[in-house]
Amino acid sequence: MTHQATPTPEAVAALPRLLSADNFRDLAGTGDGYAAAGGRLRRGVLFRSNRLELDADDLATMATFGLTAIHDLRQPNEVARHPNVEIRGARWHHHPVPGIPESEVSSLMTAAQTYQAMLVNYQTFVTDPACRAGFASLLRTIARTDGPQLFHCAAGKDRTGWAAVLLHHIAGVDREVMLEDYLLTDTYAVTSRQATLDSILENLGSERVPAYEPAFSCDSRYLDVAYEAADDSYGGLDGYLTRGLELDDADLEAIRTRFVHSSPASA
């Protein structure tokens, strides 16, 4: 079953917004933070975003978050085409995760082909060694780095979305909440998504726009196939984290300790 994003206006208004990085938001959610194992997520600790081509106002806003690390999941050619702005005090870490190969992207002629390519893409987050190496490097570095941190890819949707799922899972967030957070991209990234589709229209023609649309929207089935791959290969996300990504207990516990604060009832 496919879910659609239906965030309330209050939830949308509560999340930090950057016009030049429209999919930027706090991974902890709104208000007191998402419920997690033994408490709630701390806000202001981990942020997710699309690429950081920030204007002066948004750069000034981001400087107030005290970031110590920027984690970039893009491939080297993506970084070269769209370099991040420098954020003072934040060290850049590169954890490249392959997406759909550019040669394959250019051959996608129908929405059905693109949808299938997206399903395969999410499966490879689990099955492909290069993808696992990138996600392992990201999580291990987050665990071993102090201070507020931000991770991102190009659109902040797929590679970033899967990384967000893993961090939420480590923290003990309910899977339905993880899905809702994933789907928020469809609400937040309206401007950047439309700009990409406009570029496709200008450069490839109107008939290619609907063909590519599944690549720029969230779909619960995308996550489902990744979960299924983790179940098949590792017995679930816990096995994927410990055996697939080879994360040790100390790194997993460091993420939980930093990201979760005890609620009064569980303290």
Asked if pLDDT for residue 91 goes beyond 90, the answer is yes
* Mean pLDDT of the 88-111 span: 91
- At 263, the pLDDT band (50, 70, 90 cuts) reads low
Question: What would the pLDDT profile of 4-44 be if each residue is shown by its tens digit?
Answer: 334 444 444 455 689 999 999 999 998 889 999 989 999 99
- 114 with 108: CB under 8 angstroms? yes
207-262 per-position pLDDT tens digit: 778 888 888 899 999 999 999 999 999 999 999 999 999 999 999 999 999 999 98
pLDDT of residue 9: 44
- The model scores a pTM over 0.85: yes
State the average pLDDT for the chain. Answer: 89
The set of catalytic residues is 153
Mean pLDDT of 181-189: 93
Q: Cα–Cα distance between 149 and 224 in angstroms, integer?
A: 27
